[in-house]
Amino acid sequence: MKPISAEKLNKFSGHLKNMVRDLVRHNTLTVHQTVNQFYYMQKAEELKLLQAQLEETQKKLELIQKRIYEHYLETYHKWRRDALWLNRFLLRRTGK
């Protein structure tokens, strides 16, 4: 499943709002028997909420990725220094 871009979602939300606007303007029984404006109003709001949740989750993910990267760098540099020291110590101790 390919993710939907925010741009595409915003464009589609605009289409939904335009449809609801047209349905309100043409408030005839024939139109409303065929097309349910409340369905589109609900779906537009649901998509808006889901998009907000996605954006919030992406921000959290970016923060977690940044923290992982920072912890990795810190740990890697300390490990590298300590591993070099330990290897030198062991080489001196064994006399090789």
By the 8 A CB rule, do 24 and 32 touch? no
Look at residue 29 and tell me whether its pLDDT is greater than 80.
no
| Tokens matching residue 55 | 């954006």
Residue 1 domain flag: no
Show Cβ contacts of residue 37 under 8 Å, excluding neighbours closer than 6 positions.
Answer: 19, 20, 23, 24
Over range 68-83, report the average pLDDT. 97
- pLDDT-derived band at 60, boundaries 50, 70, 90: very high
Residue 38 has pLDDT above 80, yes or no: yes
Domain count, the chain: 1
Residue 96 has pLDDT above 80, yes or no: no
Per the structure, the complete domain to which residue 23 belongs is given by 6-94
